[in-house]
Amino acid sequence: MSVQVTIELPEDVLPILRTNPTDFVAEMRLAAAVKWYEQGRISQGKGAELANLSRQQFIDALARYGVSPIQITPEQLEQELRTDA
């Protein structure tokens, strides 16, 4: 099941960005997925699904955006190290 969302843009946006509607939608989906992953709101798997990419492609995209594929705080890491010890 999916949901369709419609947005309105000024008509000069796509020419300014030198893109077409299909590529624009793909870019928006990827940008949203990367940002939501960075915020800890979604997993890598869900981000890949949202961006319509494989998980490896999504991890590669994270690198291009400068987002670490490892989303763990120092406190969480310390807790895990204590638990495993």
Model confidence pLDDT, tens digit, residues 23-68: 999 999 999 999 999 999 999 999 999 999 999 999 999 999 999 9
Query: What's the one-letter identity of residue 70?
Result: I
* Amino acid 77: pLDDT: 79
Distance CA 69, CA 47 (A): 11
Q: Which residues contact 61 (CB under 8 A, 6 or more apart)?
A: 30, 34, 51, 53
Q: What is the mean pLDDT of residues 16-22?
A: 95
pLDDT at 85 over 70: no
